[in-house]
Chain A
Amino acid sequence: MSTRTIAMRRPSLLRRIAGEDSTVRRLDGVMLVAVAGLCVIGTLLVWSSTRTWAPGSTGLVKKHLLNETIGAVMCGLVAMVDHRAMRAYAPLVFLVSLVGLGLVITPLGATINGSHSWILLGGGFAVQPSEFAKVGLLLIIAMLLAQPAEGTDRPRGLDVALALLAAAITMGLVMLQPDLGTAMVLAVITAAGLIIGGVRKRLIALLTLIAGLGVFAVFYFQMLEPYQVARFTAFVDPSVDPRGVGYNSTQSMIAIGSGQLLGKGLLEGGQTTGRFVPEQHTDFIFTVAGEEFGFLGSVTVVLLLGVVLLRGLKIARQCEDRFGTLVAGSIVCWFAFQTFINVGMTIGIMPITGLPLPFVSYGGTATFANLIAVGLLQAIKMRRQAFS
C-alpha cells in the first residue's frame, strides 16, 4: 500500500533502473550471460594452464580476474554512453589509438614473447595498443561510412577513400611491430565496414583483387618473416617439421583430441600440465578446454561465442541508424574472424596465427577491448530507435 503510494508520487531509483521502461531493461541479457559464461570458463582455463609454472598456487588467475573486472567496468561505462554521441568522439578515439601504436615503435615500446607490440606501464602492467586500435579503426570507419551520399544509401566516394586511408595507416603501424594476426583483424574490420556500409559490389571486388595481389606480393617478395612462411607451410602439411613449426599444430590437436567426449576434468589434463602446447593460456587456451572439458565443453565455448555473434547481428539488424548498424556489424565480424581463426588453428583447419580467443584468452588489453566492444553493442541495443 505504502509502496504504491510512493510509486505514484515519484518513480523510485529502483524503478528507474529496473522498471519496465528503464534503459537497463533494454540491455541484451542473453549476450551478457554468454559473455559472463565465457569469462568464467576463461578464468578456469587460465588457472589450469598457468598454475604449474606461474608464481603462486593460482597462477595468473588473480591478474586475469583483475583484468576482467576492469574490462567489465569499461564495458559498463561505454554502455552508458549514447552511441550516437560516440560518433562525435570517433576521430578522437582513432587518433588516440594511432598515438598508442606510434608509441610502440618509439623506445617506449617493449618486446614480449617475440612481438614488439607493448607499452610497459610499470608495476608489471603493460598495454597492447593494437587491441585498442581495432576499436579505434572500427569507430572511424563506421563514422565515415554512416553518412550516405545524397539521395542514395551508399557512402560517398571521399568517405570510402578516407576509410581506406585510415585502415592503411593503422595496418601499416601494426605491420611495423610486426603483428600479422592483428593486421588481418583490421583488414576484416575494414572489409566489414565497406560491405555493411553498402559500397558497390564492383568496388568490393576491386579491393578484394588489390588485397589478393598485395598478399601475393608479400609472399613473392618475401616480405614475411621466415617463421610466418613456415607456419603456413606447416599448416598445409604438419608432418613437414613435427618438432618445429608443426609442433604447435600437432600438440594442440593431441591435447584437444585426447579430451574425447567428456574431457579429463578440470586440472586433470596431462598435456596441459606437461605444458606440451605452447602459449597455452593465451593463443592456445582453447586446447585446455578441449582436453579438460572434452567435446561437450569445447562445443559449449563455441556455442557461447556463437550466441554473442548472433545476438550482435540481431542488434545490428534492429538498430535504426546506420552508424549503430555499422559498429555492431563490424564488431560481429571482428569477433567471428578471431573465433574462427583461433579455434580453427587449434583443430588443424586454419594456419597458426597469433590471435587470442575473445573473452577466454589471458591478456589484459585484449580483454579490455573485447568488453568495450560488448559495451558498444549494449549501448546500441539500448538506444536502437533513431531520432524521430
Chain B
Amino acid sequence: MMRMRARLLVLHVLVLTLLVVLAVRLWQVQVVRGHEFVTRATETRTRAVIVPAVRGQILDSSGRPLVRNKTALVVSVDRTRLSRMKDGGVKVLRKLSAVLGRPVSDLQQRIRPCGPGVGKPCWTGSPYQPVPLDEKVDTREALQILERQEEFPGVTAEIHSVRQYPGGRAGAQMLGYLQPVTEAELEKREGLKASFSGVDLAGRDGLEYVYDDALRGKSGLRRVQVDRMGKALGVEEQITPVPGDHLVTSIDSRVQAVTEKALARAMKSAPAADGGAAVVLDARTGRVVALASAPGYDPEIWAGGISARGYQWLLSEKSGKPLVSRAINGQFAPGSTFKISSVAAMLRAGYPLNGTYSCPGSYAVGGRAFNNFRGIALGSLSLHTALVKSCDTIFYRAAYEQYLKDGGRHPKRKPKEVFANMARAFGFGRPTGVDLPGESPGRIPDRAWKKELWNQTSATNCERSRKGYPEVKDRARAEFLKRLALENCTEGFLLRPGDSANFSIGQGDVLVTPMQLARAYMALVSDGKLRSPRIGWAQVRPDGKVVRTIPVPVVGKLPLSEKERLYIKNALSQVAADGTAAGAFAGFPMNKVRVGGKTGTAEVWGKQDTSWFASFAPTKNPQYVVVAMISQGGMGAQTAAPAVREIYEGIYGIKRKPAVPGGRLTTRLPTFAPDGLVAGG
C-alpha cells in the first residue's frame, strides 16, 4: 500500500498542476486578452448595415433647388439570402425579371460582386448590403413585390432618395454628380470607417465634389445581430443618420436658365462652333451668378449607376465632351479682350495715360509686318480710343519695345517682362481658385515657358527638321512644317519678337479660361481687387440654421491706380455703345442699362476663330460681369457679343420679363422655415 500511496501523491501533484494551468490560461484568455476577443466577437456576431443619410440640397440664391432629392422606390436584392437558396435564387430572379421587365441575365450580372475579371455591371458594395437593382420602380411594381413577399424572398422595395435636377441640363458640369464611394475614399472619411457598404455615394465632380463633406451628412448604422448562418436575430445597435446640410449658392436659377439659352443660341448661330461657355459674376461680391458650358448633358444619366457606354459618350470627341466644363477647363487665346492687361502693362512700363499714339495699319516687328485687323490705319489715337476701336499696332509697338528693352533675343539676366507680369497680376496663368475641382491654369508664354517647352519638344523638332514630314501630302505644307521644325529646334527656347507682339493682343500661345477672364474684368471694373470667385454661398442645416457663410477670398490687387483703372473702364464702357460691339448691341437700350466690354477674336490655327466678349453692366457701379466664349464661333462681335446681349436682356427684362427684378441681385441668404422648406421660395 505504501507504493500505491506514493504514486497517488505523484498523481495529486499532477492534478493540482493541471488545475493551475487551466486557471492561468483562463485568466490569460478572459482577463488579459478579453478585450481583443470582445472586438472579434462583435465582428463575427454582427453585420453592419449602413443607413444612408439624406444628402443636402444644392439651392440657388433664393432657395430654389438646383439639385434636390426625390424619393424613389428602389428594388433591392439580398445576395446572401439568394445564394443560400437551392437554385442560387434563379427562380426568384426570374419572377423579379418578369415584374421589372428586365432580362434575368442583367439582374444576375448586377448582383455579382465586382472583382478581378468581373467587369461592370457588378456590385461594388458589401455582400451583406442589399443590392439595388432598379431605382425607377413604379408603385404598382413595388406593390407586387411587397404584397407577395413569400414569392420574392430576399427582395425588398424600399423608399430611397435619389438626386433630381429641376433645371434639367442647366449647369450640369458645375453641379457635378454622385457615384458610389470607393473603398479608398471611405478610408479617408471620419467615422464608420470599417463599414464599407457600397450604398454610400460620393460627389465626383462640381459642387457635389467640393462640398461633399457638408452635403453628405453622416450615415446611420444598423448593427444587426446574426447567427452563424447569417440569419438576422435582431438589431443590436442603431445609429440614426444625420441628414446633410444644404448648400446655398449664389447661382440665380433664372439667370442660369437665360444664360444657358443664350449660349445654346450662340452655338447654333455659328455653324462650326464646337463648344462654348458663359460666366456671369456678381461684380460687387465676386460670387458666381450663372455658369454655363456647352455642349451640356442631362445629369439624370448618372442616376442608378452610369453605363460604360454612357460614360464614354460623356467624354468622347464626337459628342463634344459634354462632361468637360469649358468655363473652367476651356483654355483659349483671349484675343483683344486681353488688351486690358496690355494697356495696364504699358502704363506700368511708363507710357503716358493721356498720351497720343499712332495706330498705323501695319507695324514691323523683328523684320516682319504685323497688321491691324484688316490692315486699317486709324491715325493718332488716345489709349481710350485704341481700346474702343481695338487698335493692334499700338500694342505691337509697345510690346516690341519692351521686348527689346529686356534684351530681345539675348535677354538680360533678369528681364522685366512687363506684359507677362501684368497678365499674372490680372490672375492669368493660374487657376482662379473657384470652388470647382480640376480647374485649368491657362498659360502665359513668357521666356521661362519657352525654355521649358523647348526642353520638352526639341528632340522631336530636331528629328523632324532632318527627316521632314513625308506623311503630309501637301508638299508646300510639308516644306513649311519642316522649316518650322528647324526653327523650333535651333531657337525654340528664345522668345521671338513676334511672340511678344502676339502676346500683347491675346494671340499666339497665351491661353485663358472664361472664368479667368471674367474675374480679371471683375477686378478691373469693381475695386481693383482680384478675387477667387465662389459659387457656394452658405452651408445651411436642414432646419435652417446657417452653419457657415462661404467668404470670397481676395487673392491679389491690380497694380493700377484708381485713376488708371477708371480710365480703362471708361474706355470699355464705350465699346458696346459705339465701339467694336456696337453692331451687336444695336437697338439695346443703353440709356436704361449701359453695357461696357471688349470683344475678342482669337485666331486658332486650322480652325475657326474663338469668339469672345467680356462685359460688365451697368457701367456706373457695375453689378454684373458677363463673359461669353464660343470656340470656333468666329468674330467676337458676331457670336459672343450677341449671346452676352441676350443674357443682359434676360436679366434686365428687355422686351420680356426680367429674370432679376430691377437687375439687383439678392444680398441676403434665403430663410428656411423650421420644417426645412424655403420660406417664400
A381 contacts B by Cβ under 8 Å? no
CB atoms of A276 and B30 under 8 A apart? no
Q: Which residues of B contact A290 (CB under 8 A)?
A: 26, 29-30
A271 contacts B by Cβ under 8 Å? yes
A211 contacts B by Cβ under 8 Å? no
Q: Which residues of A contact B226 (CB under 8 A)?
A: 274
If A256-B37, A258-B38, A260-B31 touch, whether A344 touches B22 (CB-CB below 8 Å) is yes
Q: Which of A195, A257, A349 contacts B34 (CB 8 A)?
A: A257
B8 contacts A by Cβ under 8 Å? yes
B38: nearest chain-A partner, CB-CB: A258
Q: Which residues of A contact B225 (CB under 8 A)?
A: 270, 273-274
Of the listed stretches B13-21, B309-317, B331-339, name the one at the interface; the rest are far from the partner chain: B13-21
Q: Which of B15, B23, B31, B228 contacts A276 (CB 8 A)?
A: B228
CB atoms of A198 and B4 under 8 A apart? yes
**Interface-centre pick from B31, B37, B226 (highest chain A CB count, 10 A):** B37
Question: Chain B 1-44 against A: per-residue CB contact (8 Å), 1 yes, 0 no?
Answer: 11111011101101110110111011101110111111011001
B452 contacts A by Cβ under 8 Å? no
Return 26 A-B CB contacts under 8 Å, by A number: A154-B3, A192-B11, A196-B8, A197-B4, A198-B4, A254-B41, A256-B30, A257-B34, A257-B38, A257-B41, A259-B34, A270-B46, A270-B236, A274-B225, A275-B227, A275-B228, A294-B30, A306-B19, A310-B15, A320-B1, A326-B4, A329-B4, A333-B11, A340-B18, A344-B25, A347-B26
Q: How large is the interface on A (under 10, 10 to 19, 20 to 34, 35 or more residues)?
A: 35 or more
Of the listed stretches A22-30, A82-90, A295-303, name the one at the interface; the rest are far from the partner chain: A295-303
CB atoms of B37 and A299 under 8 A apart? no
Q: Which residues of B contact A98 (CB under 8 A)?
A: none
A325 contacts B by Cβ under 8 Å? yes
Q: How large is the interface on B (under 10, 10 to 19, 20 to 34, 35 or more residues)?
A: 35 or more
B308 contacts A by Cβ under 8 Å? no
B225: nearest chain-A partner, CB-CB: A270
CB atoms of B8 and A260 under 8 A apart? no
If A198-B4, A295-B31, A347-B29 touch, whether A254 touches B44 (CB-CB below 8 Å) is yes
Q: Which residues of A contact B18 (CB under 8 A)?
A: 336, 339-340
Cα(A310)–Cα(B16), bound, Å: 8
CB atoms of A343 and B7 under 8 A apart? no
CB atoms of B15 and A309 under 8 A apart? yes
- Secondary structure at chain A's binding surface: helix, strand, loop or mixed? helix
A260-B30, A270-B225 known, 10 other contacts, Cβ within 8 Å: A52-B227, A196-B7, A196-B11, A198-B3, A198-B7, A275-B227, A298-B30, A316-B8, A332-B11, A333-B11
In chain A, positions 308-344 with a C-beta closer than 8 Å to chain B are: 309-310, 313, 316-317, 320, 322, 325-326, 329, 332-333, 336, 339-340, 343-344
CB atoms of B1 and A322 under 8 A apart? yes
If A302-B22, A302-B23, A325-B1 touch, whether A258 touches B15 (CB-CB below 8 Å) is no
Inter-chain contact total with CB atoms closer than 8 Å: 147
The smallest beta-carbon distance between A264 and chain B, in angstroms, is 9
Q: Which residues of A contact B15 (CB under 8 A)?
A: 306, 309-310, 313, 332, 336
CB atoms of B29 and A271 under 8 A apart? no
Which residue numbers of A lie inside 8 Å of B, CB to CB?
52, 153-154, 192, 195-198, 251, 253-261, 270-271, 273-276, 290, 294-295, 298-299, 302-303, 305-306, 309-310, 313, 316-317, 320, 322, 325-326, 329, 332-333, 336, 339-340, 343-344, 347-349
Q: Which of B5, B7, B29, B40 contacts A195 (CB 8 A)?
A: B7
CB atoms of A257 and B22 under 8 A apart? no
Q: Which residues of B contact A198 (CB under 8 A)?
A: 3-4, 7
A273: nearest chain-B partner, CB-CB: B233
Cα(A368)–Cα(B78), bound, Å: 48
Cα(A46)–Cα(B22), bound, Å: 22
Q: Which residues of B contact A329 (CB under 8 A)?
A: 4, 8, 11
In chain B, positions 222-279 with a C-beta closer than 8 Å to chain A are: 225-228, 233, 236
CB atoms of B30 and A259 under 8 A apart? yes
Cα(A310)–Cα(B13), bound, Å: 10
Q: Which of A274, A295, A333 contacts B45 (CB 8 A)?
A: A274
Q: Which residues of A contact B23 (CB under 8 A)?
A: 299, 302-303
Q: Which residues of B contact A298 (CB under 8 A)?
A: 26, 30
Cα(A198)–Cα(B46), bound, Å: 56
The smallest beta-carbon distance between B671 and chain A, in angstroms, is 49
A336: nearest chain-B partner, CB-CB: B15
Q: Which of A271, A305, A343 contacts B44 (CB 8 A)?
A: A271
Question: Chain B 207-229 against A: per-residue CB contact (8 Å), 1 yes, 0 no?
Answer: 00000000000000000011110
CB atoms of B19 and A349 under 8 A apart? no
The smallest beta-carbon distance between B237 and chain A, in angstroms, is 12
CB atoms of B30 and A257 under 8 A apart? yes
Q: Which residues of B contact A344 (CB under 8 A)?
A: 22, 25
Q: Which of B4, B16, B25, B38 contacts A153 (CB 8 A)?
A: B4
CB atoms of B30 and A255 under 8 A apart? no
Cα(A255)–Cα(B44), bound, Å: 10
Q: Which of B29, B36, B233, B236 contacts A348 (CB 8 A)?
A: B29
The smallest beta-carbon distance between A21 and chain B, in angstroms, is 25
A349: nearest chain-B partner, CB-CB: B25
CB atoms of B44 and A260 under 8 A apart? no
CB atoms of A258 and B40 under 8 A apart? yes
Q: Which residues of B contact A275 (CB under 8 A)?
A: 227-228
Cα(A316)–Cα(B5), bound, Å: 8
CB atoms of B12 and A313 under 8 A apart? yes
Q: Which of B16, B36, B41 contacts A270 (CB 8 A)?
A: B41
Cα(A295)–Cα(B27), bound, Å: 7
The smallest beta-carbon distance between B583 and chain A, in angstroms, is 79
Q: Which of A310, A325, A339 contacts B4 (CB 8 A)?
A: A325
Q: Which residues of A contact B4 (CB under 8 A)?
A: 153, 196-198, 322, 325-326, 329
The smallest beta-carbon distance between A300 and chain B, in angstroms, is 10
The smallest beta-carbon distance between A269 and chain B, in angstroms, is 9
Q: Which residues of B contact A349 (CB under 8 A)?
A: 21, 25
Question: Chain B 572-587 against A: per-residue CB contact (8 Å), 1 yes, 0 no?
Answer: 0000000000000000
CB atoms of A153 and B34 under 8 A apart? no
The smallest beta-carbon distance between A388 and chain B, in angstroms, is 15
The smallest beta-carbon distance between A180 and chain B, in angstroms, is 20
Q: Which residues of A contact B14 (CB under 8 A)?
A: 336
